[in-house]
Amino acid sequence: MIELDGLTKRFGNKLAVDHLSFRVRPGMVTGFLGPNGAGKSTTMRMMLDLDNPTSGSVRIDGRRYRDLQEPLTHIGALLDAKSMHGGRSAYNNLLCLAQSNRIPASRVSHVLDTVGLSAVANKKSKGFSLGMGQRLGIAAALLGDPEILMFDEPVNGLDPEGIHWIRNLMKALAAEGRTIFVSSHLMSEMALTADHLVVIGQGRLLADTSMADFIHENSRSYVRVRSPERERLRDLLHAEGIVAVDSADGTLEIDGGAPERVGELAAEHRLVLHELSSQRASLEDAFMQMTAGTVEYHAHSEQDGAQPPPVGPHWGDTWNSGTDPGTGTGTGTGPGTGTDTGTGSGSGDTTKGA
Protein backbone atom coordinates (compact mmCIF):
# COMPACT_ATOMS: atom_id res chain seq x y z
CA MET A 1 0.00 0.00 0.00
CA ILE A 2 1.29 3.44 -0.97
CA GLU A 3 -0.43 6.51 0.47
CA LEU A 4 0.06 10.02 -0.83
CA ASP A 5 -1.18 12.86 1.30
CA GLY A 6 -1.27 16.35 -0.14
CA LEU A 7 1.94 15.73 -2.06
CA THR A 8 3.16 18.95 -3.62
CA LYS A 9 6.29 19.83 -5.58
CA ARG A 10 7.17 23.29 -6.78
CA PHE A 11 10.03 24.03 -9.16
CA GLY A 12 10.57 27.78 -9.01
CA ASN A 13 7.13 29.21 -9.66
CA LYS A 14 5.91 26.17 -11.54
CA LEU A 15 3.73 23.79 -9.60
CA ALA A 16 4.75 20.35 -10.91
CA VAL A 17 2.68 18.33 -8.46
CA ASP A 18 -0.32 19.96 -6.83
CA HIS A 19 -1.71 18.48 -3.61
CA LEU A 20 -1.93 14.89 -4.80
CA SER A 21 -3.69 12.52 -2.44
CA PHE A 22 -4.50 8.95 -3.35
CA ARG A 23 -3.80 5.38 -2.36
CA VAL A 24 -2.29 2.56 -4.34
CA ARG A 25 -3.81 -0.69 -3.14
CA PRO A 26 -2.39 -4.20 -3.13
CA GLY A 27 -3.58 -7.03 -5.34
CA MET A 28 -4.16 -4.95 -8.44
CA VAL A 29 -2.44 -3.00 -11.15
CA THR A 30 -2.95 0.72 -10.65
CA GLY A 31 -2.36 2.76 -13.76
CA PHE A 32 -0.91 6.23 -13.33
CA LEU A 33 -1.95 8.18 -16.35
CA GLY A 34 -1.28 11.66 -17.58
CA PRO A 35 0.03 13.52 -20.60
CA ASN A 36 3.74 14.25 -20.93
CA GLY A 37 4.81 16.74 -18.29
CA ALA A 38 1.83 16.05 -16.04
CA GLY A 39 4.10 15.30 -13.10
CA LYS A 40 4.07 11.50 -13.14
CA SER A 41 7.82 11.00 -12.93
CA THR A 42 8.23 13.73 -10.33
CA THR A 43 5.55 12.07 -8.22
CA MET A 44 7.28 8.71 -8.53
CA ARG A 45 10.64 10.20 -7.62
CA MET A 46 9.08 11.72 -4.51
CA MET A 47 7.62 8.33 -3.63
CA LEU A 48 11.18 6.97 -3.57
CA ASP A 49 12.51 9.93 -1.57
CA LEU A 50 14.69 10.97 -4.50
CA ASP A 51 13.03 14.37 -4.73
CA ASN A 52 12.02 16.26 -1.62
CA PRO A 53 8.36 17.28 -1.64
CA THR A 54 7.61 20.97 -1.12
CA SER A 55 4.83 19.78 1.18
CA GLY A 56 2.82 16.67 1.84
CA SER A 57 4.02 13.13 2.42
CA VAL A 58 4.27 9.64 1.03
CA ARG A 59 3.90 6.52 3.17
CA ILE A 60 5.01 3.08 2.07
CA ASP A 61 3.17 0.53 4.20
CA GLY A 62 2.71 3.30 6.75
CA ARG A 63 6.35 4.34 6.85
CA ARG A 64 8.46 6.98 5.18
CA TYR A 65 10.73 5.59 2.48
CA ARG A 66 13.90 6.60 4.30
CA ASP A 67 12.76 4.68 7.37
CA LEU A 68 12.43 1.38 5.52
CA GLN A 69 14.77 -1.42 6.50
CA GLU A 70 16.41 -2.59 3.28
CA PRO A 71 14.00 -0.68 1.01
CA LEU A 72 14.52 -2.93 -2.03
CA THR A 73 12.80 -5.75 -0.17
CA HIS A 74 9.72 -3.54 0.29
CA ILE A 75 9.47 -1.63 -2.92
CA GLY A 76 11.17 -2.08 -6.26
CA ALA A 77 11.12 0.59 -8.89
CA LEU A 78 11.96 1.07 -12.53
CA LEU A 79 12.47 4.77 -13.21
CA ASP A 80 14.70 5.27 -16.25
CA ALA A 81 15.86 2.64 -18.68
CA LYS A 82 19.40 3.90 -18.22
CA SER A 83 20.04 4.12 -14.52
CA MET A 84 22.94 1.72 -14.27
CA HIS A 85 26.68 2.22 -14.70
CA GLY A 86 27.41 1.38 -18.32
CA GLY A 87 30.93 0.19 -17.63
CA ARG A 88 29.73 -2.49 -15.25
CA SER A 89 28.26 -5.80 -16.33
CA ALA A 90 24.54 -6.45 -15.88
CA TYR A 91 25.35 -9.02 -13.20
CA ASN A 92 27.65 -6.70 -11.25
CA ASN A 93 25.23 -3.78 -11.50
CA LEU A 94 22.61 -5.92 -9.80
CA LEU A 95 25.12 -7.47 -7.40
CA CYS A 96 26.08 -4.17 -5.80
CA LEU A 97 22.39 -3.31 -5.36
CA ALA A 98 21.72 -6.72 -3.81
CA GLN A 99 24.63 -6.39 -1.40
CA SER A 100 23.52 -2.97 -0.15
CA ASN A 101 20.20 -4.49 0.94
CA ARG A 102 21.59 -7.84 2.09
CA ILE A 103 19.80 -9.71 -0.66
CA PRO A 104 21.49 -13.05 -1.42
CA ALA A 105 23.58 -13.03 -4.60
CA SER A 106 21.57 -15.98 -5.91
CA ARG A 107 18.66 -13.60 -6.48
CA VAL A 108 20.76 -11.75 -9.07
CA SER A 109 20.97 -14.74 -11.40
CA HIS A 110 17.35 -15.51 -10.68
CA VAL A 111 15.99 -12.12 -11.73
CA LEU A 112 18.31 -11.95 -14.75
CA ASP A 113 16.75 -15.23 -15.80
CA THR A 114 13.24 -13.87 -15.15
CA VAL A 115 13.78 -10.92 -17.50
CA GLY A 116 15.62 -13.01 -20.08
CA LEU A 117 19.05 -11.40 -19.75
CA SER A 118 21.01 -14.45 -18.54
CA ALA A 119 22.87 -14.70 -21.82
CA VAL A 120 24.26 -11.16 -21.50
CA ALA A 121 24.72 -11.17 -17.71
CA ASN A 122 28.46 -10.57 -18.03
CA LYS A 123 28.24 -7.98 -20.79
CA LYS A 124 28.75 -4.31 -20.00
CA SER A 125 25.37 -2.64 -19.79
CA LYS A 126 26.37 0.33 -21.96
CA GLY A 127 26.06 -1.91 -25.00
CA PHE A 128 22.44 -2.69 -24.18
CA SER A 129 19.58 -1.57 -26.38
CA LEU A 130 16.81 0.52 -24.84
CA GLY A 131 14.70 -2.61 -24.46
CA MET A 132 17.50 -4.53 -22.77
CA GLY A 133 18.17 -1.58 -20.46
CA GLN A 134 14.47 -1.60 -19.61
CA ARG A 135 14.63 -5.31 -18.80
CA LEU A 136 17.69 -4.75 -16.62
CA GLY A 137 15.80 -2.03 -14.76
CA ILE A 138 12.90 -4.38 -14.25
CA ALA A 139 15.30 -7.04 -12.95
CA ALA A 140 16.60 -4.47 -10.44
CA ALA A 141 13.04 -3.75 -9.32
CA LEU A 142 12.33 -7.45 -8.81
CA LEU A 143 15.65 -8.06 -7.02
CA GLY A 144 14.38 -7.84 -3.44
CA ASP A 145 11.17 -9.76 -4.18
CA PRO A 146 9.22 -6.70 -2.96
CA GLU A 147 5.52 -6.45 -2.19
CA ILE A 148 5.27 -3.13 -4.02
CA LEU A 149 6.48 -2.54 -7.55
CA MET A 150 6.61 0.73 -9.40
CA PHE A 151 7.25 1.08 -13.11
CA ASP A 152 7.65 4.39 -14.92
CA GLU A 153 6.69 3.94 -18.58
CA PRO A 154 7.83 0.31 -18.65
CA VAL A 155 6.86 -0.42 -22.25
CA ASN A 156 9.08 2.36 -23.64
CA GLY A 157 11.53 0.86 -26.05
CA LEU A 158 10.24 -2.68 -25.77
CA ASP A 159 9.38 -4.70 -28.84
CA PRO A 160 5.87 -6.20 -29.16
CA GLU A 161 7.01 -9.44 -27.56
CA GLY A 162 8.52 -7.45 -24.69
CA ILE A 163 5.37 -5.37 -24.25
CA HIS A 164 3.31 -8.53 -24.07
CA TRP A 165 5.75 -9.96 -21.54
CA ILE A 166 5.69 -6.93 -19.23
CA ARG A 167 1.87 -6.80 -19.31
CA ASN A 168 1.64 -10.40 -18.25
CA LEU A 169 4.36 -9.94 -15.66
CA MET A 170 2.48 -7.04 -14.05
CA LYS A 171 -0.78 -8.95 -14.02
CA ALA A 172 0.90 -12.03 -12.56
CA LEU A 173 2.59 -9.96 -9.85
CA ALA A 174 -0.72 -8.30 -8.96
CA ALA A 175 -2.41 -11.69 -8.85
CA GLU A 176 0.13 -12.71 -6.19
CA GLY A 177 -1.29 -9.92 -4.05
CA ARG A 178 1.40 -7.37 -4.74
CA THR A 179 0.87 -3.67 -5.22
CA ILE A 180 1.66 -2.65 -8.79
CA PHE A 181 1.87 1.01 -9.74
CA VAL A 182 2.61 1.72 -13.37
CA SER A 183 2.73 5.02 -15.20
CA SER A 184 1.95 5.62 -18.83
CA HIS A 185 0.84 8.37 -21.14
CA LEU A 186 -1.03 5.87 -23.29
CA MET A 187 -4.61 5.11 -22.33
CA SER A 188 -4.63 2.16 -24.72
CA GLU A 189 -1.80 0.56 -22.76
CA MET A 190 -3.55 1.10 -19.45
CA ALA A 191 -6.83 -0.31 -20.71
CA LEU A 192 -5.06 -3.62 -21.24
CA THR A 193 -3.30 -3.88 -17.90
CA ALA A 194 -4.74 -1.66 -15.21
CA ASP A 195 -7.53 -2.52 -12.80
CA HIS A 196 -7.55 0.92 -11.27
CA LEU A 197 -6.75 4.31 -12.70
CA VAL A 198 -5.24 7.45 -11.28
CA VAL A 199 -5.26 10.25 -13.83
CA ILE A 200 -3.34 13.48 -13.35
CA GLY A 201 -2.90 16.59 -15.46
CA GLN A 202 -0.61 19.52 -14.62
CA GLY A 203 0.10 17.88 -11.31
CA ARG A 204 -3.53 17.76 -10.22
CA LEU A 205 -5.62 14.67 -9.59
CA LEU A 206 -8.23 14.36 -12.32
CA ALA A 207 -9.61 10.90 -11.59
CA ASP A 208 -9.10 8.09 -9.11
CA THR A 209 -11.42 5.36 -10.22
CA SER A 210 -11.66 1.72 -11.18
CA MET A 211 -10.99 0.91 -14.81
CA ALA A 212 -14.53 -0.43 -15.24
CA ASP A 213 -16.10 2.77 -13.91
CA PHE A 214 -13.83 4.85 -16.08
CA ILE A 215 -14.90 2.96 -19.18
CA HIS A 216 -18.54 3.18 -18.18
CA GLU A 217 -18.47 6.89 -17.53
CA ASN A 218 -16.20 8.05 -20.24
CA SER A 219 -16.87 6.06 -23.31
CA ARG A 220 -19.53 7.96 -25.19
CA SER A 221 -21.81 5.69 -27.16
CA TYR A 222 -23.59 6.91 -30.24
CA VAL A 223 -25.29 5.61 -33.36
CA ARG A 224 -23.83 6.27 -36.77
CA VAL A 225 -26.13 6.33 -39.78
CA ARG A 226 -25.19 6.73 -43.42
CA SER A 227 -27.81 7.21 -46.06
CA PRO A 228 -27.94 8.53 -49.63
CA GLU A 229 -30.99 10.54 -48.52
CA ARG A 230 -29.37 12.30 -45.65
CA GLU A 231 -31.65 15.34 -45.47
CA ARG A 232 -34.80 13.22 -45.50
CA LEU A 233 -33.40 10.99 -42.82
CA ARG A 234 -32.56 13.96 -40.67
CA ASP A 235 -36.06 15.41 -40.98
CA LEU A 236 -37.52 12.04 -40.15
CA LEU A 237 -35.40 11.72 -37.02
CA HIS A 238 -36.16 15.31 -36.08
CA ALA A 239 -39.89 14.63 -36.33
CA GLU A 240 -39.38 11.80 -33.84
CA GLY A 241 -37.48 14.11 -31.51
CA ILE A 242 -34.10 12.49 -32.18
CA VAL A 243 -31.21 14.91 -32.58
CA ALA A 244 -28.75 13.92 -35.30
CA VAL A 245 -25.50 15.75 -35.84
CA ASP A 246 -23.58 15.92 -39.11
CA SER A 247 -20.18 14.39 -38.81
CA ALA A 248 -17.15 15.12 -40.91
CA ASP A 249 -17.41 12.13 -43.25
CA GLY A 250 -21.01 12.80 -44.29
CA THR A 251 -22.68 10.48 -41.81
CA LEU A 252 -25.13 11.38 -39.07
CA GLU A 253 -24.36 10.74 -35.43
CA ILE A 254 -26.99 10.29 -32.75
CA ASP A 255 -25.75 10.61 -29.21
CA GLY A 256 -26.89 7.77 -26.96
CA GLY A 257 -29.43 6.63 -29.54
CA ALA A 258 -30.64 3.09 -30.06
CA PRO A 259 -29.86 1.60 -33.48
CA GLU A 260 -33.08 -0.47 -33.38
CA ARG A 261 -35.24 2.64 -33.23
CA VAL A 262 -33.42 4.25 -36.19
CA GLY A 263 -33.62 1.05 -38.21
CA GLU A 264 -37.35 0.63 -37.63
CA LEU A 265 -37.95 4.25 -38.50
CA ALA A 266 -36.06 3.89 -41.78
CA ALA A 267 -37.91 0.69 -42.66
CA GLU A 268 -41.29 2.31 -41.94
CA HIS A 269 -40.51 5.12 -44.35
CA ARG A 270 -38.72 2.90 -46.92
CA LEU A 271 -35.53 4.90 -46.58
CA VAL A 272 -32.28 3.37 -47.86
CA LEU A 273 -29.52 3.06 -45.29
CA HIS A 274 -25.92 2.24 -46.20
CA GLU A 275 -24.74 1.99 -42.66
CA LEU A 276 -26.27 1.73 -39.24
CA SER A 277 -23.95 1.03 -36.40
CA SER A 278 -23.61 1.64 -32.72
CA GLN A 279 -20.29 3.16 -31.84
CA ARG A 280 -18.26 3.88 -28.77
CA ALA A 281 -15.67 6.60 -28.56
CA SER A 282 -12.32 5.16 -27.60
CA LEU A 283 -10.94 5.49 -24.09
CA GLU A 284 -8.09 7.39 -25.65
CA ASP A 285 -10.62 10.06 -26.59
CA ALA A 286 -12.07 10.07 -23.11
CA PHE A 287 -8.61 10.46 -21.64
CA MET A 288 -7.84 13.23 -24.07
CA GLN A 289 -11.03 15.08 -23.19
CA MET A 290 -10.29 14.76 -19.52
CA THR A 291 -6.78 16.13 -19.83
CA ALA A 292 -7.38 18.49 -22.74
CA GLY A 293 -7.09 21.61 -20.60
CA THR A 294 -3.98 20.41 -18.87
CA VAL A 295 -1.78 19.25 -21.71
CA GLU A 296 1.62 20.84 -21.40
CA TYR A 297 3.02 20.46 -24.88
CA HIS A 298 0.53 20.69 -27.72
CA ALA A 299 1.34 19.67 -31.22
CA HIS A 300 -0.46 21.68 -33.84
CA SER A 301 -2.13 19.73 -36.55
CA GLU A 302 -1.20 20.18 -40.18
CA GLN A 303 -4.78 21.21 -40.90
CA ASP A 304 -4.41 24.22 -38.65
CA GLY A 305 -1.18 25.11 -40.34
CA ALA A 306 -2.68 24.92 -43.82
CA GLN A 307 -5.40 27.40 -43.01
CA PRO A 308 -4.68 31.09 -43.41
CA PRO A 309 -3.40 32.42 -40.13
CA PRO A 310 -6.29 33.64 -38.03
CA VAL A 311 -6.21 37.26 -37.01
CA GLY A 312 -5.94 37.48 -33.26
CA PRO A 313 -4.59 34.41 -31.55
CA HIS A 314 -0.94 33.72 -30.91
CA TRP A 315 0.85 30.46 -30.50
CA GLY A 316 -0.18 28.98 -27.23
CA ASP A 317 -3.51 30.75 -27.01
CA THR A 318 -5.29 27.47 -27.52
CA TRP A 319 -3.46 25.73 -24.74
CA ASN A 320 -6.05 26.17 -22.12
CA SER A 321 -9.15 26.39 -24.26
CA GLY A 322 -9.28 22.61 -24.60
CA THR A 323 -12.17 20.79 -26.11
CA ASP A 324 -15.67 21.32 -24.89
CA PRO A 325 -16.43 18.02 -23.21
CA GLY A 326 -20.09 18.35 -24.10
CA THR A 327 -19.65 18.07 -27.83
CA GLY A 328 -17.37 15.09 -27.68
CA THR A 329 -14.59 14.49 -30.10
CA GLY A 330 -16.10 11.40 -31.64
CA THR A 331 -13.93 9.55 -34.04
CA GLY A 332 -11.42 11.22 -36.23
CA THR A 333 -12.08 14.87 -35.53
CA GLY A 334 -8.53 15.74 -36.34
CA PRO A 335 -4.95 14.66 -35.99
CA GLY A 336 -4.82 16.02 -32.48
CA THR A 337 -6.80 13.13 -31.12
CA GLY A 338 -4.04 10.78 -32.14
CA THR A 339 -4.28 7.04 -31.87
CA ASP A 340 -7.83 5.93 -32.08
CA THR A 341 -7.07 2.30 -31.80
CA GLY A 342 -10.20 0.93 -30.22
CA THR A 343 -8.93 0.19 -26.78
CA GLY A 344 -10.83 -2.90 -25.98
CA SER A 345 -13.89 -0.94 -25.02
CA GLY A 346 -15.67 -2.53 -27.93
CA SER A 347 -16.13 -0.61 -31.12
CA GLY A 348 -19.68 -1.81 -31.53
CA ASP A 349 -21.42 -4.15 -33.87
CA THR A 350 -21.97 -2.91 -37.35
CA THR A 351 -25.29 -3.57 -39.00
CA LYS A 352 -25.23 -2.77 -42.66
CA GLY A 353 -27.95 -2.15 -45.15
CA ALA A 354 -31.68 -1.75 -44.63
Partner 1 sequence: MAAVPAVLNSEWTKIRTVSSTIWTLIAAFVVTVAMGAALSALLNSQFDDLPAAERATFDPTYVGFSGMVLGQLAMVVFGVLVVGTEYSSGMIRTSLAAVPQRGSLLFSKIAVAGVLALLVGLATSFVTFFLSQALLGDHRTGIGSENVLRAVFGGGLYMGLIAVFSMGVATMLRSSMLSLGILMPFFFLVSGILSAVPGAKTVARYFPDQAGSKIMQVVPDAMNSNPAPYGPWGGLGIMALWVIAALAGGYLVLKKRDA
Q: Give residues in contact with partner 1 (CB under 8 A).
A: 45, 48-52, 65-66, 68-72, 77, 79-80, 82-89, 92-93, 95-97, 99-102, 140
Q: How many helices (H) and strands (E) does the chain have?
A: 11, 14
Least distance to partner 1, CB of residue 225, Å: 54
Q: What is the spatial distance between Cα 297 and Cα 333, in angstroms, rounded to a whole number?
A: 19
Least distance to partner 1, CB of residue 92, Å: 4
> Which is nearer to partner 1, 3 or 51 (by Cβ)?
51
Strand 196-201 and strand 28-33: the pairing is parallel
Q: What is the spatial distance between Cα 207 and Cα 30, in angstroms, rounded to a whole number?
A: 12
Least distance to partner 1, CB of residue 144, Å: 9
Q: Under a CB-based contact definition with an 8 Å cutoff, are residues 124 and 91 in contact?
A: no
Rounded to 10°, the helix 106-114/90-100 angle is 130
> Which is nearer to partner 1, 77 or 295 (by Cβ)?
77
> Which is nearer to partner 1, 10 or 25 (by Cβ)?
10
> Which is nearer to partner 1, 94 or 242 (by Cβ)?
94
Least distance to partner 1, CB of residue 211, Å: 28
> Which is nearer to partner 1, 65 or 319 (by Cβ)?
65
Q: Under a CB-based contact definition with an 8 Å cutoff, are residues 301 and 331 in contact?
A: no
> Which is nearer to partner 1, 68 or 192 (by Cβ)?
68
Least distance to partner 1, CB of residue 251, Å: 50
Q: Under a CB-based contact definition with an 8 Å cutoff, are residues 134 and 122 in contact?
A: no
Least distance to partner 1, CB of residue 182, Å: 17
Please spell the DSSP secondary structure of 69-122, one letter per residue.
Answer: SSGGGTEEEE--S--S-TTSBHHHHHHHHHHHTT--THHHHHHHHHTT-GGGTT
Name the residue among 119, 121, 115, 132 with its Cα closest to residue 166: 115
Paired with 199 in beta bridges are 33, 207
